[in-house]
Structure 1
Amino acid sequence: MSKLVVISGGANNFGKGIAFGFIKEGWNVAIIDNDKKALEKINEKNLFKFHGDVSNENDIKNFYSEISNKYNRLDVIINNAAIGGFKNFFELTLDEWKKVIDINLTGYFLMVKYGSPLILENPGKGSIINISSTRAIMSEPGNEAYSTSKAGILGLTHALANSLGPNIRVNAISPGWILHENESIKDAEHKQHLVGRAGTIEDIFNLALFLANDKSGFITGQNFIIDGGMTKKMIYF
Structure 2
Amino acid sequence: MADNYLERKMEEYRSGKSTGYRTRLTPSGDRPGQLSVKFPPRRVFVTGGASGIGKAIVKAFCDAGCRVAFCDIDAKAGRAAAQALGAQFHPVDVADVAALEACVNRVIGSWGDIDVLVNNVGVSVFKPIDEMTVEEFDRVQHVNLRPVFVTSRSLALHRKAMGEPHYGRIINISSTRYLMSERGTEAYTASKGAVSSLTHALMMSMAPYGVTVNSISPGWICCDGYDSLTDADHNQHPSGRVGRPEDIARMCLFLSLPDNDFINGENIVIDGGMTRKMIYV
Comparing both chains, which one has the higher relative contact order based on Cα–Cα distances under 8 Å and sequence gaps of 6 or more? 1
Does structure 1 conserve the Cα–Cα contact (< 8 Å) formed by 2:144 and 2:191?
Answer: yes
Are residues 1:32 and 2:71 paired? Answer: yes
CA distance in 2, matches of 1:38, 1:218: 36
Q: Which residue of 143, 147, 158 corresponds with 2:189?
A: 147
- Normalised to the residue count of structure 1, the TM-score between the two structures is 0.95
Counterparts in 2 of 1:87 and 1:194: CA distance versus 1, 3 Å? same
Q: Which residue of 162, 170, 176 corresponds with 1:128?
A: 170
Give 5+ residue unaligned stretches, structure 2: 1-39
Paired position in structure 1 for 2:107:
67
* Match runs of 1:73-84 below 5 Å: 73-84=113-124
Does structure 2 conserve the Cα–Cα contact (< 8 Å) formed by 1:55 and 1:110?
Answer: no
Paired position in structure 2 for 1:19:
58
Cα drift, residue 57 of structure 1: 1.4
Cα drift, residue 96 of structure 1: 0.3
Paired position in structure 1 for 2:3:
none
CA distance in 2, matches of 1:156, 1:224: 14
Does structure 2 conserve the Cα–Cα contact (< 8 Å) formed by 1:119 and 1:126?
Answer: no
Paired position in structure 2 for 1:117:
157
CA distance in 2, matches of 1:174, 1:223: 7
Q: Residue 191 of structure 1 aligns to which amino acid in structure 2?
A: N
Equivalent position SS for 1:135: helix
Does structure 2 conserve the Cα–Cα contact (< 8 Å) formed by 1:79 and 1:131?
Answer: yes
Aligned length: 237
Q: Which residue of 177, 186, 206 corresponds with 1:164?
A: 206
Cα drift, residue 111 of structure 1: 1.3
* Match runs of 1:82-93 below 5 Å: 82-93=122-133
Give 5+ residue unaligned stretches, structure 1: none
CA distance in 2, matches of 1:172, 1:45: 24
Counterparts in 2 of 1:44 and 1:116: CA distance versus 1, 3 Å? farther
Counterparts in 2 of 1:198 and 1:89: CA distance versus 1, 3 Å? same
Does structure 1 conserve the Cα–Cα contact (< 8 Å) formed by 2:166 and 2:211?
Answer: no
Are residues 1:218 and 2:262 paired? Answer: yes
Q: Which residue of 223, 228, 233 corresponds with 1:189?
A: 233
Does structure 2 conserve the Cα–Cα contact (< 8 Å) formed by 1:210 and 1:216?
Answer: yes
Does structure 1 conserve the Cα–Cα contact (< 8 Å) formed by 2:50 and 2:72?
Answer: yes
Paired position in structure 2 for 1:236:
280
Cα drift, residue 45 of structure 1: 5.9
Are residues 1:7 and 2:46 paired? Answer: yes
Are residues 1:201 and 2:240 paired? Answer: no
Moved over 4 A (4+): none
Q: Residue 163 of structure 1 aligns to which amino acid in structure 2?
A: S
- Normalised to the residue count of structure 2, the TM-score between the two structures is 0.81
Does structure 2 conserve the Cα–Cα contact (< 8 Å) formed by 1:119 and 1:125?
Answer: no
CA distance in 1, matches of 2:73, 2:271: 27
Does structure 2 conserve the Cα–Cα contact (< 8 Å) formed by 1:78 and 1:130?
Answer: yes
Paired position in structure 2 for 1:178:
221
* Greater Cα radius of gyration, structure 1 or 2: 2
Give the RMSD, CA atoms, in angstroms.
Answer: 1.6
CA distance in 2, matches of 1:79, 1:182: 25
CA distance in 1, matches of 2:128, 2:115: 40
Q: Residue 183 of structure 1 aligns to which amino acid in structure 2?
A: Y
CA distance in 2, matches of 1:119, 1:14: 28
Does structure 2 conserve the Cα–Cα contact (< 8 Å) formed by 1:11 and 1:35?
Answer: yes
Equivalent position SS for 1:165: helix
Cα deviations by residue, 1:89-121 (Å, 9 ceiling, x for unpaired): 111000000000111001111111113334564
